[in-house]
Amino acid sequence: MKNQTLIEHAMTTLKENGFKYTKKREAIITYLVKRNRYLPAKEIHEYMSEKYPGLSYDTIYRNLHDFSEIGILEETELNGEMKFRYNCCAELEDHHHHHFICTVCGKTKELHICPMDFFQEQLPGCLIEGHRFEILGRCEECQ
C-alpha cells in the first residue's frame, strides 16, 4: 500500500475505536509511516515539537500507547526503551510474520517463517494464545 493509503487506514481505525481526528494524531501516524522503522517516543516528540511547540512528551507517549492498543502500531523494547513503528500488517488479514530489528537504527526486515510451528509440536494438548519473536542485531548499514 502507498503511504497515503496507510495513513488513511490508520485514521479510519482511530475513528472506529472512538478516537477523534486531530492534525497532531495524523502527523504522528504520517511520521511513523514514512520512517518505516522502530522509533523511540523521544524522537517522535522531537519531530512533533518542531511542528507543535509546547506539545508534551506525555501526550505523545499516551497516543503511541493508544495506537498500539488498537493495532495501528507495533511496539518493542530495545535497550530498555519502548520503540514504536507503524504496524506493517495492520491493513492485512492473516499476515503473520516476525522481524529482524536493527538495535542501532531500528530498521526492520520481515521474517516469513514462524518458530512457533515447532513449539506447538512440542506442546501437545496445550493452546498457545499468543507469542512474540524478534531477532535483534545490526543491519548491513550499521555494522
Binding site: which residues? 96, 102, 105, 131, 139, 142
The residues facing 86 across adjacent strands are 73
Count CB atoms within 10 A of the CB of residue 50.
Answer: 8
> Which residue bears the cell 531500528?
106
Known binding-site residues for Fe cation equal: 96, 131
Known binding-site residues for Zn(2+) equal: 102, 105, 139, 142
- Distance from C-alpha of 38 to C-alpha of 33, rounded to nearest angstrom: 10
- Kindly give the pairing relationship between strand 134-137 and strand 98-102: parallel
